[in-house]
Structures are given as structure tokens and as C-alpha cells.
Amino acid sequence: MNEFELIARLTKSLPTNENVVVGAGDDCAVLDLGVPDKLILFKTDAVVEGIHFTRETSPEKIGRKALARCLSDIAAMAGTPTAALVTIALPENFDVEFVAKIYDGLNSLAEKYGVAIVGGETTTNPERILISIALLGTFPRGKQILRGGAKVGDAIFVTGELGGSLAGRHLEFEPRLAEARWLAEHFTVHALMDVSDGLGGDLRHILNASKVGAHILKSAVPISRAAKLRARGGDTTKPAFVAALTDGEDFELLFTLASKDAVKLVDAWHKKFPGLKLSCIGKIVAGEGISIRDKIGTHTFNAHGYVHFS
């Protein structure tokens, strides 16, 4: 049983109440706590030593990453982050300076995005450091953009470049908060999420939630320099395109909107965010699953994230 199957089983029948607008299954939970013009976003995310960072990672970058991942989920709902709690589980003989530097990295990212750190907890995890962030955010009532809103004919867009994040970007990425808010304010975005598990897997979440399929144009997928270098260097058997679809930890925005808005968006984007690439990588179609078109023909992309040329 993998992570997604476990989550599907555990979230089958969760307790709910009248405050819940969106429960488990999207980038954040959405709650109505009675703020007249806003709904509340609620999210947790954990990083674990040996999985999301190593003992050699600089502590400032560990703290930064822990919060940045969670901020990316607020971006994925076009929200504004408000306040976070930090749970840090430490081996017994922790180095106080190391832990203080984790907080330095975390705090300085929090300050950049106006997020208050309002407490949390230290506890013991004897073998490795684990940091869990709980984050609250808000967005304008009536403006929610979920994974399930993609419509047949929509253009599919992704920001930035994908793949090869492990070479360094996973510790330094910028959560796309301003970009997502601008999108939500100026365009009718149908579906939105952040790319955390790889474009291939994450696009599938939008498709499944929206009950549609996608055609992707291989040449349109923006592949990072890191993924290309890695593929060329021979230290992986993964072609750069497959890396772009499956590496994960890109933390870029993936979204769909009506094709008729696509040109207007691209023009406006280049003026507003000249430093950040925006790529139209394909379109939403009837049916299910992902098919990828290249010079040879059309191929299907399977559930485990690897391309099977058929």
C-alpha cells in the first residue's frame, strides 16, 4: 500500500462539522469560521532527516524548506499565509546552535512573507530530526480554486522549470504566493495546485478530481537545467523529460483556464513576472489519464509516473 492508497483509506469517512468547506484531499483544508469576507486555509507539512534533508544540509536551509513547502500549499489555493506553529522533534543530544539556525532560516522566510510564528513544540525523536509546520492562511470568500475545476478545452499551464530539484532547488525554491494571488485576481483559473510530487503525478490529481484527461506536448514541458545536466552527466538513467515529469519538489504552480484566456494570460504574465517562465504545456480533454505527444506520435503516461512508449 503506497502513501496515496493509505490516505484514501484513512480519509474515507472522517468526522466533519458545519465549519468545513473543503476537507481532506486538496492542497489545504478550507474552513468557514465566520470571517465575513474570508475563508480560512489550514495545512500541515513535515520534513524528515534522511528523506527531505540530510545531516549535511545547512540548518538554515532545513528550516527554510520546512516552511516553504507549507507556503507553497497556501499558494496552491491562491491564499495568503497568516500564522504558523513549528513542531520540532529532536534526538536527545541535539546541538542547540544547529536548532537555533533551523529557526533562523524558518523565521527569515516567515518575515519575508508576513507569517507570524506563534509557537509550537519541541519533542524527542531519538534517531532523526523531524519538523512539522502547521500553517493558517486566508483567501477571499467565493474565490476558491480547487483541483476539481478543470474543464474540457482548458489550457494547462505550469510556472518555472521542472525536474532536478534535488541538485539544490528543493532547499531554495520560492513559494509562488504572489503569482497565484495575481492569477486568481485577474483570471478565471479553473484548477490550481502546486507541483510537489512531479508534474506527472500531480496533474493526475487534477484530472481525477475534475474527471477529465490531458494531452501534453512534450516539447512544451519546461525542463530545468539541473535535470538536463544530470541526464547528460550520465549519473542517472532517467531522461531529462522523465525527470521533469517525475522528480518532484518543484513547487511550481500547475493550473488550467479556458483556452480563450490563454494568450491574454501569457501577455499579462510576461509584463507582471518577467523573471519567471510560464509555459502552456497542453490541454484538458474528455476521458482520463495523460497522453504525451512528441515527434513520433502519442504515448500514454502510466500511474506510477514513468513514461511507457506504446
- Residue 51 CB, shortest distance to its own copies, in Å, is 6
Figure out which of the listed residues 57, 58, 85, 291 binds its own copies, where binding follows CB under 8 A. 85
Shortest Å, Cβ 202 to its own copies: 15
Residue (30 or 156) nearer to its own copies, CB: 30
Angstrom distances, CA of residue 98 to CA of 50, 55, 93, 108: 16, 10, 11, 16
Residue among 306, 266, 242 at smallest CA distance from 157: 266
Residues 98 to 137 in contact with its own copies, rule: CB under 8 A: 99-100, 103, 107, 110-111, 114-128, 130, 132, 134, 136
Q: Give, as ranges, the residues between 15 and 74 that touch its own copies (CB under 8 A).
A: 15-17, 19-20, 22-25, 28-29, 31, 33-38, 40, 42-46, 48, 50-51
Integer angstrom CA distances of residue 69 from 17, 110, 240, 262, 293: 28, 12, 24, 28, 31
Q: Nearer to its own copies by C-beta: 7 or 303? A: 7
Helices (DSSP H) in the chain: which residue ranges? 3-10, 59-75, 96-112, 177-186, 199-210, 225-233, 240-246, 262-272
Read off the C-alpha cell for 63. Answer: 528550516
Q: Residue 141, interface with its own copies (CB under 8 A)?
A: no
Q: Element (H or E) spanning 292, and its range?
A: strand 289-293
Binding site for its own copies (CB under 8 A): 1, 3, 6-7, 9-11, 13-17, 19-20, 22-25, 28-29, 31, 33-38, 40, 42-46, 48, 50-51, 82-83, 85, 87, 89, 96, 99-100, 103, 107, 110-111, 114-128, 130, 132, 134, 136, 138
